[in-house]
Amino acid sequence: MAGLLLSLSFGVVAQDAGLSQLEAIVMSAIVYAGSAQFSAVAILAQGGGAGAAVAAAALINSRFLPMGVALAPSLRGGVVKRALQGQTVVDASWALASRPDGSFDRGLLFGSSAAQYTTWVTGTTIGAVWGEGLGNPHDIGLDALFPAFFLALLVNEARSGRARGVAALGALIALVLVPIAPAGVPVLVASFAALVGLTRGAREAVFQRQEAEGEAR
């Protein structure tokens, strides 16, 4: 349900940012990473260039690195097969397939991902093709949809005080840069706020969580 609504919105808003109907659909079909697609298109909508848009997508996707590492021991086969199996990782499928012992249910991972992929591409197609019928994007408040989506993700993501502090710092950096830096750049520079993770306290928090997960196995 959430996936359908979000992919519908993506189909509509991507065109508002300058993608064609076909481009919006192709992007969902070959990128298949919601927050990365939304981020890249948001940068374009702000007037940012292709490089900044791709960089934003890469940075927001970086969370798939540790997720892929955790998944690796549960996969079988050679390099190509493992690389392709890794593509089924999206937030929901990964969370659904993870078992309490730290391993992953491959059937559940592939199955839920296939269902989500179908929904994602179908929703984007419907939004891209019929979205114009909704009326003037400005009148229906469509420009509030992207930031609302990011804010909802942020609220769910930033549970620790440290994460909230980094979020505030990132927002501040971006707002200071908006009047002086080229479009798209403020968001990328704001990612440096994550370097707070190099402080001793932050590393210890990660270490303790890994230890706790290790004991649970």
- 121 is an interface residue for other proteins by CB under 8 A: no
DSSP, res 98:
B
- How many whole angstroms separate alpha carbon 187 and alpha carbon 124? 25
CB nearer to other proteins: give 115 or 209.
209
Distance of CA 4 to CAs 15, 89, 152, Å?
17, 18, 16
Report the Cα–Cα distance between both ends of the chain, in Å, rounded: 33
CB nearer to other proteins: give 130 or 207.
207
Work out how close the CB of 99 gets to other proteins at its nearest, in angstroms, rounded to a whole number. Answer: 17
- 68 is an interface residue for other proteins by CB under 8 A: yes
* Cα torsion through 212, 214, 216, 217, rounded to 10: 170
Is residue 10 within 8 A of residue 123, CB to CB? The reply is yes
- 40 is an interface residue for other proteins by CB under 8 A: yes
CB nearer to other proteins: give 100 or 139.
139
Of positions 16, 46, 105, 110, contacts other proteins by CB under 8 A = 46
- 113 is an interface residue for other proteins by CB under 8 A: no
Size of the site for other proteins (CB under 8 A): 109
Work out how close the CB of 104 gets to other proteins at its nearest, in angstroms, rounded to a whole number. Answer: 11
- 72 is an interface residue for other proteins by CB under 8 A: yes
76, exposed or middle or buried, with CB in 10 Å at 0-12, 13-18, 19+? exposed
Work out how close the CB of 100 gets to other proteins at its nearest, in angstroms, rounded to a whole number. Answer: 19
Ranges within 139-178 binding other proteins (CB under 8 A): 139-158, 162-164, 166-175, 178
Of positions 16, 32, 111, 126, contacts other proteins by CB under 8 A = 32
Q: Which segment (95-103, 122-130, 205-213) binds other proteins by CB under 8 A? A: 205-213
Tokens of 49: 């260039």
Instruction: Name every residue whose Cβ is closer than 8 Å to that of residue 83 and which is 6 or more positions away in sequence.
Output: none
